[in-house]
Each structure stands twice: as structure tokens, then as C-alpha cells.
Homo-oligomer: A and B are copies of this chain.
Amino acid sequence: MQLFRTESSDKSEKLLPSTGALALAITKVYLVLTSLCALLYLMGGMSLLDAVCHALSTVSTGGFSNYDASFAHFHSLYLDCVAIVFMLAGALPFTVYVALTSRKLSARTLPGLFDEQIRWFLVFCAFASVIMAVWVAVTTDVGPFQALRLATFNVVSVITTTGFVSTDYMQWGVAAAMMFFALYFTGGCTGSTAGSVKVFRHQVLFQAIRRILFRMVNPHGVMSLKLDQTPVSEETLASVMAFMFLYAATIFVIGLGITMTGLDFVTSISSAATAVANVGPALGDIAGPVGNYSSFPAVAKVLMSLGMLLGRLELFTVLVLLTPRFWRL
């Protein structure tokens, strides 16, 4: 049963070296991307320490900043743009970069690298950024260009599970907060540094929904599930959907635990979600984009730590430990 999807596509696979060499190549890609990001940050006026810290947590989509205000500290359009590009770069499958440097690469094989997953991901980032920018421009007194800049930065930061913040987007109203809540669950591509649900699971689910509607109209029709021309087995589909349900259930249980420490509904559920999705900032007044978790009760912090572990290990790896059968082997 294929629980996790580890290859980016059939086409890029042919351009990839063996496992050991691939690990080395991916490490090189990671080092090159991080160095390039740090260099561009330096050129934008960051100190060496700031540039290195932020580059490390941009490409790794980690989101750590050595300033309380996160990226809002810098007030630089150039730095925002560099961060957006490298957050996106960190959320793409690293195998693609390796394949791009392959000697076997030709003009014919190049387009094959940008598989459905990458296209969905980039189109969705653009789409969500524009929707958010329009909402901000229409409902607040932020100008259209500034709205696009702030929306793109913060939307990309949440989708890629980086968690940098360039403005207090809680000021954009409840609808914006709810959109950010939904964006927690997108995630990056498989084989990237990003966490959360990840794009291919959404693709599988979308195909399943399409098939049901197809079969309602054509009761005897046959429609196979495919991703990048590769068939998706029914068991993969079942495991993807069970994963999503468990994901929601995990967030609910952790959120419920957090409410019991006395925190409010929105803070609790968004903190649970942001922990499991490995994003960073939550919603609300306490742990929102300009807040942090320092005032949280210890129990809430422990629950969130558990959530971060469960989310990063993709649930089943941890949950299997709870089955009696596992311990009998």
C-alpha cells in the first residue's frame, strides 16, 4: 500500500541518480538554495546574522525569525520578494532541482519536470494571493499594490508552512482569518521541506470527487483515477482520505485539550491546527500573527508539541505505536 508518495513524477525519475547519490544531490540543492537566499538577503541590507538565520528558516520553510515582529521588522519590498521566491522554492519537490542539473536533461524532457502537482501548487498560491489581495483592497484602507504585496507574502508563508509574518493580518477581518485557517491545510509538494496535508493528497481527493459525480451521470461509465498519467490504486485513495480524517480528528482533540486550559475557541482550534500543520502563527489576539505562545499554559504547550510531532510524522507513523499488534511483533 502506497501510504506516502515519494517520487515527484515518472518523468523526473528517469533523470534521477540512485538513492545514495540522490541524498547527496538533495543536500547540495539545499545548501545552494540556502546560500543563494542568504546572499540575496545580505544584498537587501540584512546583517550577516539576520541573513543566515532567515535564509535557513526560509528554504526549510521553518519560519523562525530572530525578531518578534518576524519579517515585518524589515519593511523592505525587495526582501519580501526574495522571501516569497525562496519559500516557494522550499515547497517544491527537491528531486526536480536534482533532475534540472542532470546531464540527461534536454529541451524535450524539461517540460515533463513540471508535473501536475507543481502546477496545481503554483496556480493555487497565485489564486489564493489574488483573492486575499482583493479582499484586503476592498475591505480595508490598504492600497491595491500594498494589499497584493502583503497578501502574497503572508498567503505564501502560510501555504508553504513557513510561518513568517509581514503584517498583522488579524486586522483584515474575520473572513480573512477564516481563509488563513483553511490555508493551513494546503501544504507544499511531496519531497519538499513543507509540512501539512500536501498537494498530492488534495489531487487524489479531487479525482475521487470527480469520479463520484461522473458515475452519478454515467452509472455504467468507467473512470480511472490518475495522477500524472499514473493510475492511483483504490487503497492509496482510501489511505489518503483516512489520513485527512485523522488529521481533522487530531486537530479537534488537541484543540479541545487547549480549550480546557482556559483559552478561547478561535485561539484553541487555530493553535491546534497551526501546530499539526507545522505552520507557526495561529489566529486571535494571543497567538495570532503578532502574538506568540509564551503566555500559554504549560499543558497547552505540551499538547501543541505533541501536535507538531504528529503532524510532521504524518500521523500513521505515530498512531501505529498505539496498536497492540505492533508491540507483539
Contacts and interface: CB of A to CB of B under 8 A. Distances in A.
Given A3-B212, A248-B248, A256-B179, A174 B265 contact: yes
Contact of A178 (B182, B218, B268, B319): B268
Contacts of A208: 238-239, 241-242
Contacts of A107: none
B263 A174 contact: yes
A283 B211 CA distance: 35
A264 B283 CA distance: 13
B325 A218 contact: yes
A114 B263 CA distance: 42
Contact of A241 (B218, B245, B264): B245
Nearest to A235: B234
A313 to B, nearest CB: 12
Nearest to A260: B175
Given A238-B237, A255-B178, A319 B205 contact: no
Interface residues of A, number: 51
A245 B242 contact: no
Contacts of A283: 265
Given A252-B182, A266-B266, A238 B241 contact: yes
A184 B209 CA distance: 23
6 contacts: A174-B264, A178-B259, A217-B325, A234-B237, A234-B238, A238-B241
A67 interface: no
A265 B182 CA distance: 13
Interface in A217-252: 217-219, 234-235, 237-239, 241-242, 244-246, 248, 252
B214 A325 contact: yes
Interface of A: 1, 3, 173-175, 177-179, 182, 205, 208-209, 211-219, 234-235, 237-239, 241-242, 244-246, 248, 252, 255-256, 259-260, 263-266, 268-269, 283, 316, 319-320, 323, 325-326, 329
What's the dominant secondary structure at chain A's contact region?
Answer: helix
Contacts of A319: 213
Contacts of A255: 178
A316 B266 CA distance: 30
A243 to B, nearest CB: 8
Contacts of A218: 325
Contacts of A325: 214, 217-218
A263 B174 CA distance: 8
Nearest to A139: B260
B177 A213 contact: no
A235 to B, nearest CB: 7
A107 to B, nearest CB: 36
A320 B323 CA distance: 40
B252 A212 contact: no
A36 B215 CA distance: 43
Contacts of A263: 174
B316 A242 contact: no
Nearest to A174: B259
A239 B213 CA distance: 10
Contact of A323 (B213, B245, B329): B213
